[in-house]
Amino acid sequence: EIVLTQSPGTLSLSPGERATLSCRASQSVSSNYLAWYQQKPGQAPRLLIYVASSRATGIPDRFSGSGSGTDFTLTISRLEPEDFAVYYCQQSGSSPPTFGQGTKVEIK
């Protein structure tokens, strides 16, 4: 199975700053089927990005995804107060689908 490694584990930033989150796969993700989710405490995850760079319905354009093969990035251009949360990547290029361990974006 494909192992996804996210870095950093925690990102301490201030509102208005740019956040760059990394997701590295142990082998190439077929068709770049890499998704990103946001999870806030006590809530279900929310899909942000799919197929590496396509924004899900209703997701603000400050969220963007990039990358291909084994290296993927989620960028939040300017952090809003509601963006402080945990972010997970997930691959669905091969079975079983797997998730990264998460990156926590916290207020500095």
Partner 1 sequence: EVQLVQSGTEVKQPGESLKISCKASGYSFTSYWIAWVRQMPGKGLEWIGTIFPGDSDTKYSPSLQGQVTISADKSINTAYLQWSSLKASDTAIYFCVRHFSGYSISWFPHWGQGSLVSVSS
Binding site for partner 1 (CB under 8 A): 1, 33, 35, 37, 44-47, 50-51, 56-57, 88, 90, 92-102
- Taking the complex as a whole, the smallest distance from the CB of residue 89 to partner 1 amounts, in Å, to 10
Contact call for residues 12 and 30 (beta carbons, < 8 A): no
Read off φ and ψ for residue 78, nearest 5 degrees: -145, 115
Q: Which is nearer to partner 1, 17 or 39 (CB)?
A: 39
- Taking the complex as a whole, the smallest distance from the CB of residue 52 to partner 1 amounts, in Å, to 11
Q: Which is nearer to partner 1, 17 or 55 (CB)?
A: 55
Q: What is the dihedral of CA 36, 64, 10, 107, to 10 degrees?
A: -120
- Taking the complex as a whole, the smallest distance from the CB of residue 36 to partner 1 amounts, in Å, to 9
- Taking the complex as a whole, the smallest distance from the CB of residue 56 to partner 1 amounts, in Å, to 6
Read off φ and ψ for residue 28, nearest 5 degrees: -60, 135
Cα gap 41→46, rounded to integer Å:
12
Q: Which is nearer to partner 1, 42 or 81 (CB)?
A: 42
Give the three-state DSSP class for 91. Answer: strand
Q: Which is nearer to partner 1, 17 or 24 (CB)?
A: 24
